[in-house]
Structure 1
Amino acid sequence: MNLIFLTLLLLFQATLSSSTTSNTLNQGSSLSVENADTDVLVSPNGDFSAGFFPVGENAFSFAIWFTKSSVPTVVWMANRDQPVNGRRSKLSLTEDGDLVLLDVGRVRFWSTETTPSSHVKLQLYDSGNLVLRSAAFGEDVVYWESFESPTDTLLPNQNLTMNTRLVASVSRTNYSSGYYHFYFDDDNTLRLRFQGPDRVVASVYWPAPWLGPFQTGRFRYNISKSATINSIGDFASSDNLIFSALDHGAKINRRLTLDPDGNLRLYSFDEKTKSWTVTWQAISSPCNVHGICGPNSMCSYDHVLGRSCSCVPGYKVKDSSNWAFGCEPRFEWRHNQESSFHRIANAEFYGYDKNFYENLSLKECEEKCLFFSDCKGIQYHMSNVANPGSRCYTKHLLVNGAHTSSFPGDVHVRLPKDKISYFEKLHTKLKSEQYCSSKLVLLDRTYNKAKENGGLKVLLWVAIALAGVEITCVSVVLSFLYCSRKESKLNSHGYTLAALTRFQKFTYAELRKATAGFCNTIGAGGGGTVYKGVLADGRVAAIKRLTESNGGEAEFLAEVSTIGRLNHMNLIEIWGYCAEGRHRLLVYEYMEHGSLADNLKNIELDWEKRFDIAMGTSKGLAYLHEECLEWVLHCDVKPENILLDSNYNAKVADFGLSKLLNRGECHDPSFSRIRGTRGYMAPEWVYNLPITSKVDVYSYGMVVIKLVTGREMADQHGRLVTWVKEKMYGDGDRESRIEEILDPMLELGEFDKEKIKLLVKVALQCVEEDKDARPSMKQIVEMLEYHNNQH
């Protein structure tokens, strides 16, 4: 994917270099995303271009970029956090003088909100400044300019003020707003600040937070907040921050950029190599940047290997492609559980101290931590000769961790005493895995592409029809084989399983290699952990490592053989398995957009997509309940188990080893244990009533309610259902009250009211206390499809 994206950028640049363009957009004119190669503004000197810039597959942002570098260098973006579709999107300078960015030609994503009277035009200057101006009646008036709203870069003679800031990108290929800010603080001082992805942990890390402004040569007391860099490489601000480029004096192209790694750097452009060179940077030691490795982890730096991150013992990485999320514990604290400490020499966690004590012994310091249940560890070191004695810091959070051989203190991480030996051995074993380098991650937004050629589409449908006939014939044969129970005689190598289901048997070593040592975690649950991996044939896969059990290989293969027969477009496809020793793994297709739970706060999930997700999920569950060879209960239908592909099509996941029963078997003694997730469980589980497919129907109804309302339901979900019923049916005023329950994340003007009312009606039927009052999944599919056919 990264290769495709970079190739797209190079082709994009090559096309632009051959196009003939101007630096002006006149009133009433537009730039079209479909003509991104020609609808471009170019500065008179040719240094800068402005137009639609690709930020993902079929996703674009309106941007300004430096054109002379070997790869285009983006210096400004209008819609970095909300890309537009590659079809029918445009930037328009309206007759009213407003500069508007429209997604698919109708949804306003960004605007200058200006209304000059007449003679207005948009111009790209040699400086890289995009200016909306008017020269009417002999006056030159500027109504808006890109220099007044920087993203992550400051160009020469562009001012940083009290109302602006630089915000780093998430990564070098994901231009969305990241976690680092360069701004004027309340004390009028320029600072670098980390704001974590959870928006909870935040801290200033430059200048050194333990130093006051006067100790760093800064001035607090000034009446202005202004900073700028000039063309010869001098930076100066109102708080007396002054620095110069190493090549100070030369009039060349320069830029001051807050990079994704949190370091502020001044770059100079080399005309010979067509590349940028760092000529000044704020921070010399990469591990001094807060949050660079996330909570519960340590940052280390080597001059040869560079910066690396690793979890402390007892913790595991959340997302190795983005270390800002840090690590999470492998354990849960039990009441009155005994604790012990693991020492990490020459290391520190900066900030979030619970208490500070002087002149305590190490044991006394540890006892101070043990007194509080929420103390995660301690920082302990001896003071210098001038101020002898010890210093003890008890830690509320383990953040901003750094390991430096010269640091005079140690970290002592608090862990369960009965597991500390195991965690220390595991940490040593997995150390190489935890040092996996962060991968480049593209902006996670993909839009539907333009329609295919008509003739090609006909041929494609013919091929699909022929394939369908073949699949049907094969399915009949498989059904016969299944009914005769020949698959129950699976041999230990799984050859019969592979023949019957087209499954591939993987070795544990193959899957370990595919996941880079089980490094990139993309999900976890009670049944195991899911990792992203790349198979030997190049396919990207989701590899689920099941929790170890005492079940034999034959039993596991028998269950997997049945799963292999579940084939539906709204069920996650399983490609293969591994049953080697105690290792049990399943290999699934990888879903680009992750789970529904991950996307509920994504503005791209509009009402049309939400209806389609409800429809697709119902079809997948209906197949499990009524169409496959066995009667399959999912038992844990929730947003986390509904995955979305690149086009936001829904596929039900984690149905694999849920519960497989013979058709017509309505109750089974093995169902005595409560299954599912709080907030989505049917009453039958609680009251020990017979378990049928209606438990999945109930959970589906709760998912749809969350899909419509966007509200959490882990607690008191009965109240949420009552509230939705009141808004749906109360006082007979259905048209006006239905809007009060809709997810406030989305604009109310962009949806079909009848579709939403139908979804709510279906959901309320699904969550009836009496299971007999609930519809079947097949009936739900019919209701939703009937509405679609009527419209």
Structure 2
Amino acid sequence: MNLSFLLLLLLLFIRDITAADISPGSTLSASNLNQTWNSPDNSFAFGFIRDGSTYFAAITYGGIPVWKAGGQNQGGGAADSTATLQFLSNGDLRLVNGSSNSLVWQSNTTGRGVTAASLDDSGNLLLKNGSITVWSSFENPTDTLLPTQNFTVDKKLVSGSYSFGLLNSGNLTLTWNSTIVYWNFQLNTSAPLNLSSPTLSLQPIGTLSLSDSRLSSPLILAYSSDFGEGTDILRFLRMDSDGNLRIYSSSKGSQQSLSKWAAISDQCQVFGYCGNLGVCSYNDSGPICNCPSRNFEPIDPNDSLKGCRRKIEIEDCPGNATMLDLPNTKFLTYPPELPAQVFFVGISACRLNCLVSSSCIASTSLADGSGLCYVKVPAFVSAYQSAALPSTSYVKVCGPVDPNLPTGSSASSQTKSWKLKPWLVFVIVLCTILGFVVFEGSLWWWCCRNSPKFGSLAAQYALLEYASGAPVQFSYKELQRSTKGFKEKLGEGGFGAVYKGILANRTVVAVKQLEGIEQGEKQFRMEVATISSTHHLNLVRLIGFCSEGRHRLLVYEFMKNGSLDSFLFASNEGQQEEEKVLNWEARFGVILGTARGITYLHEECRDCIVHCDIKPENILLDDNYNAKVSDFGLAKLINPKDHRYRTLKSVRGTRGYLPPEWLANLPITSKSDVYSFGMVLLEIVSGRRNFDVSDETNRKKFSIWAFEEFEKGNISGILDKRLDGNVADMDQVYRAIKISFLCIQEQPAYRPSMGKVVQMLEGITEIERPPIPRTGEVNISGTNSSVIIDSLSPVSTIAAASAPVSYTSFQAEAGVNSSFQSRKDTERTSSSLLKPYSS
């Protein structure tokens, strides 16, 4: 008895020691980076880290800093190699530079009875008086918010000139230099306008939620793209030094973090990203910063983010000032603007008013139909340039204007040549002009001699060969002529008809008339520019657009062989089926091409694009039967409201391909596309609709019947009867069927990513065995309806799914029709704008 009691006391003593209490008098030194104070499970460590020649006392997770001592102070807590972190006997925690004995940071807990410090398993550094916490790192955040850490209105995440805060209204804001609010995320209008004490927190599964005593349940404001996945992933919210707020994920032991959500998808919209007078634009690798012209020079040639300055200041050239024109450029402006800085004038007046005003240094004419002109006074100026922007801006400089020249050219050498041999320069210029005129005239005559009315269209479309990937803008009359008055209809999509057209250079295109567009001119152009920059071998290419009055049209490359469904399913019009059947080699090529196209949208674009309507009608085939995915990326044009919160009555998409989370009112992620792809994959193998019911399938839905046959090993029974099993590669068939059942799992977390699907199709990655299907019925929490769906699902559900759902048949009692026999019954997502032609 006594021995057991002693053992119990010993265990309790060991447990207290394991809690990693740090005694007063303990010290850490920057000269020994391996010396740290660790959390009990060793996930977090507190010690010194090095960044070049600078040292920081920081809490790290696998080497990734999540809190820095003095991170919110001027200088960000930077110290030198002689620095020490001292836990003094008076209870104060101090960071001191040893070389100068200067104080970098302190906790200011002297005389508050602090007797111990500890770092817990959640990454929180605590200074304690017995069991009472006197100070903690969670209550004094720097630039990072960890799971279980509460963020209230009195706190800020700070990184350099940028800060993130929470308002009493519940709005989230990003601010530059404590003056310019360049991002203000407002709550859904159904939420109370005045909250009592809003609290923001990041959940371990990757959701950013807001709670308040006046809210019946927390509001989810953002989802990381991998939310709910994995069990050993730390997710954290960080205010980055580039002015963007991001959610990162870091797998245990990986020592690296990946961005899974960003508050601002367009980095150039971050105020001051390129510094004062810097111009932000994009190249193939991402955002870049330049000076407006050669009248300016970088403040730091080694760091383009620090901005630019005039080579000659305006005050030094009185009477010689002029305006530098910057097409497709705007100076970032955020409310509230002073009345004296906003005018309703035309583009010429916007330029001239700034030129004659001594208090104006730059101006922007929006040219979006609003008639607004913004005037900039001497202060910090941040610019954004893009081919999709209709705005034109002007900057006051000392003349003459010296625009940026192509690499290798020299203004000084050109001037010298003109002075030395003016007659030679004149002859060269004259010959060049005459040659250009002759060439253009010959080209126009050759292309348009039989169709003179297409002259303007040919001139405009010629830009496509020289532009840097920007979509070509057509007039409505030009597209009306190219389609012969919209005569030859290729198909009727969910949001408009598609017509065949022939441009002046004999290029055959598909022209889609859009219906139900709610965005204005500016937003429409921005979205079109974003989609046109998405290029991949297995994606349908957007050539151009028309935005004229109420007319909104999109112009796509023409796919000669139409959509995949015409090759898979028997026609209702009595066409000869043999002529439309794809052999197995072609089918497997379509499977791989489709998977690669979707993978590009999910994992290789600058921003993840969720398709939301994967089906055979949206997979088009070119002349060589290569698959190209259409119908992606323009969902925001149809419904600009936040579509993460869906109800049963607002579900869009095509029945038979909808993942369970759509009908269960759960968030839509890239895993929703994986489910739809799994259904399409099964249809490509079988040549039958996944929702077909027949005597052969014992009156069961085909996907359920196919799984039962797969369990029996009857692969040939699932394969399309029109294919010869001796010709088809049965190893590929078996692999494809197995992958399809992995993709259509009930819970998104159990579906593979599209990148992994491609690897499994190519035989690079081993394919797991699909779990046994489960059936049943459970009500969905948070809705007024009982949803009943059939799906292949594992026995257990993940914790990320807040509402348990079970499924028996693909129908919903809340107004979802259970008939799936007619293709005309399908409902399409708002992103179907990008579908060039499908029925």
TM-score interval, smaller chain: 0.3 to 0.5
TM-score (norm 1): 0.44
Q: From the CA coordinates, give the structure whose radius of gyration is larger.
A: 2
TM-score (norm 2): 0.41
